[in-house]
């Protein structure tokens, strides 16, 4: 860390973009301890307390002697020792990959089912208590804090305070006021604002934020950036790492910032696990979907989707025009694999995160897609298209639908009729592909209500009353439909809706604002500088 910013924590874990963590240790602590007058052996013990000894030799609770009593051989103990140097938790190294599956089954009497269980805790199964595991863990991997360290004097603890509590047992941290006062001491010597984030604990309230801004203003600080710990489910730095094998009570005792992502991830895992146990959710025999044709880097790509009754994506088919048999077969089988995963409950979001921005040939300019204009690969294009259509991820699109969407005109007071809109929206979803209409379902619903409310679509025999009028004309009287659900499923209505939407899009592209002319009354006003001009009569609203 540099400048005014205090250290995040003495020992912290950085989350890597590709998965996993690595440990960052403050290297200035030994220099500070020497400056304070501590002897070399005292400094060594304090540092070992914070970052750990990296070995179980001489550890309390779980050590070499205790492991030999459980059946560990000298070679197995050495394998454990080799893995402990880079381990965050000693439980991470007691597994079949470190010790070997044959040794675990023969010497430790563990079954293959236990070894393959993701939440299996070998140390607890071998009879070690929670207290033994924690004591050995602190000795080997460190407490990640100087609080409680041997030889360290209480009056020196404040020197090593950080922006957050350090480790699982740490309690001390710098107050919000200390951050602000430190900035105030430097602000008068700096022409611009200070780039520094004021860290706030997870329990901070709205009033705490208000008080922080007020204090900054009173002290003359030009800018104040607040960050409340744990505000995001994913933050790059953390003061502790809890594995998937932690017990429920350990998660409850964890800091709130570490607890939030664990709870969220476990909820998702349980939902997916339950769906997998329930088996594959089959699509209906006759299903909705859409076909999208596009050209990616000069290669034609056809994407065909299949949807469940609720509009969720359940399958996809990929076909490439004029490609070699091997490449086409690979894409077809890839689509089958993705489809099976979706039907077993794998979230589409996971596929989108995994395959967007992948880079390989063919890639480049995309033709034929209204939202995507460039892609780094075929897979990048396909999952951008699915994300935009089924997840509403317009951040992955190159063309935003704001200006050309017909809903930009609004529908007046009828937009407030939310219950009616929900009913009509459900009706539209039953006949329309979610991916095809994308975010226009509400617009389709409004159009459906307007058309059904003002016109009739298909008269039944008893509704037709015909009589001769002036000898040559036939008058047909149609009763007005009262229920949208009864008529919305007809193909005629779908065509009417699509026709009406197309006319609105065309009007928007021509520049019509949707207001009526004050002279002739036509809805043909277009933007003319800061005013409006009528293309029918030529009058303006003020500009020459």
Per residue in 320-378, pLDDT tens?
Answer: 876 677 888 888 888 999 999 888 888 888 889 888 888 888 888 888 888 888 898 88
The owner of tokens 């520094």 is: 196
Longest dimension (CA), the chain: 118
Under 8 Å between Cβ of 335 and 301: no
In the predicted model, is pLDDT for residue 253 greater than 60?
no
Q: Can you tell me the distance from the alpha carbon of 373 to that of 296, in angstroms, rounded to the nearest whole number?
A: 9
3-state secondary structure of 74: helix
CA distances from 145 to 91, 121, 499 (A): 20, 26, 68
Confidence of residue 230 (pLDDT cuts 50, 70, 90): confident
Q: Can you tell me the distance from the alpha carbon of 258 to that of 238, in angstroms, rounded to the nearest whole number?
A: 7
Confidence of residue 460 (pLDDT cuts 50, 70, 90): very low
Q: Which string of DSSP letters, residue by residue, matches 318-349?
A: EEETT--HHHHHHHHHHHHHHHHHHHTT--HH
More confident residue, 39 or 247: 39
Closest by CA position to 392, among listed 428, 426, 348: 348
Q: Summarize the confidence of residues 282-307 as an average pLDDT.
A: 88
Please tell me the number of Cα atoms within 13 Å of 472 on its side-chain side: 0
* Structure-token pair, residue 436: 């095809």
Q: Summarize the confidence of residues 454-472 as an average pLDDT.
A: 40
CA distances from 422 to 76, 390, 454, 494 (A): 63, 18, 20, 18
Quote the pLDDT of residue 461: 40
Residues 150-199: tens digit of each pLDDT: 898 989 999 999 888 887 778 888 889 999 999 999 999 988 888 888 88
Q: What is the mean pLDDT of the chain?
A: 75
Confidence of residue 477 (pLDDT cuts 50, 70, 90): very low
* Structure-token pair, residue 107: 């010497």
More confident residue, 530 or 355: 355
Residues 25-80: tens digit of each pLDDT: 788 888 999 999 999 999 988 888 888 888 888 888 888 888 888 888 888 888 88
Q: Is the dihedral of CA 152, 156, 158, 162 positive or negative?
A: negative
Quote the pLDDT of residue 478: 35
Q: Can you tell me the distance from the alpha carbon of 156 to that of 36, in angstroms, rounded to the nearest whole number?
A: 8
More confident residue, 300 or 270: 300
Beta bridge partners of 525: 534
- b/e 461-478 (16+ beta carbons within 10 angstroms → b): eeeeeeeeeeeeeeeeee
DSSP 160: G
């Amino acid at each position: 860390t540099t400048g005014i910013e205090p250290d995040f924590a003495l020992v912290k874990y950085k989350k890597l973009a590709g998965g996993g963590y690595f440990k960052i240790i403050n290297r200035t602590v030994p220099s500070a301890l020497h400056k304070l007058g501590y002897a070399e052996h005292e400094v060594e013990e304090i540092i070992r307390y914070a970052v750990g000894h990296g070995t179980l030799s001489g550890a309390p609770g779980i050590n070499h002697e205790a492991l030999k009593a459980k059946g560990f051989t000298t070679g197995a103990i050495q394998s454990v020792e080799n893995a402990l140097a880079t381990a965050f938790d000693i439980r991470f190294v007691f597994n079949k990959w470190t010790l070997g599956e044959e040794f675990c089954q023969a010497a430790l009497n563990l079954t293959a089912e236990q070894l393959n269980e993701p939440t299996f805790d070998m140390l607890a199964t071998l009879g070690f208590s929670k207290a033994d595991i924690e004591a050995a863990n602190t000795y080997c991997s460190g407490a990640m804090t100087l609080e409680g360290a041997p030889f360290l004097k209480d009056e020196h603890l404040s020197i090593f305070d950080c922006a957050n509590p350090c480790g699982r047992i740490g309690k001390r941290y710098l107050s919000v006021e200390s951050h602000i006062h430190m900035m105030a001491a430097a602000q008068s010597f700096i022409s611009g604002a200070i780039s520094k984030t004021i860290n706030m604990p997870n329990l901070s309230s709205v009033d705490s934020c208000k008080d922080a801004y007020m204090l900054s203003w009173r002290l003359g600080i030009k800018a104040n950036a607040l960050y409340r710990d744990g505000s995001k489910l994913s933050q790059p730095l953390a003061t502790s790492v809890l594995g998937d094998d932690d017990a429920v009570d350990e998660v409850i005792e964890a800091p709130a910032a570490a607890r939030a992502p664990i709870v969220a991830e476990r909820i998702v895992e349980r939902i997916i696990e339950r769906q997998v146990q329930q088996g594959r959710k089959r699509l209906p025999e006759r299903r909705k979907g859409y076909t999208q044709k596009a050209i990616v880097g000069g290669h034609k790509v056809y994407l065909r989707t299949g949807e469940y009754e609720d509009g969720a994506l359940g399958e996809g088919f990929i076909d490439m025009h004029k490609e070699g048999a091997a490449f086409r077969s690979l894409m077809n089988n890839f689509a089958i694999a993705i489809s099976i995963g979706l039907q077993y409950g794998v979230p589409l979001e996971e596929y989108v995160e995994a395959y967007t921005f992948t880079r390989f040939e063919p890639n480049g300019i995309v033709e034929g897609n209204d939202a995507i204009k460039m892609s780094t690969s075929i897979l990048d294009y396909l999952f951008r298209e699915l994300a935009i259509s089924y997840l509403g991820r317009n951040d992955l699109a190159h063309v935003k639908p704001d200006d050309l969407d017909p809903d930009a005109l609004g529908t007046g007071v009828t937009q407030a009729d939310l219950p009616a809109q929900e009913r009509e929206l459900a009706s539209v979803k039953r006949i329309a592909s979610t991916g095809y209409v994308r975010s226009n379902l509400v617009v389709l619903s409004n159009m459906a209500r307007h058309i059904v409310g003002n016109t009739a679509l298909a008269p039944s025999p008893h509704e037709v009353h015909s009589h001769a009028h002036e000898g040559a004309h036939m008058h047909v009287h149609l009763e007005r439909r009262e229920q949208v659900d009864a008529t919305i499923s007809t193909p005629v209505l779908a065509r009417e809706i699509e026709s009406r939407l197309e006319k609105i899009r065309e009007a928007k592209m021509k520049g019509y604002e949707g207001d009526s002319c004050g002279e002739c009354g036509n809805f043909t006003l277009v933007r003319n500088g800061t005013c409006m001009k009528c293309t029918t009569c030529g009058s303006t609203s003020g500009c020459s």
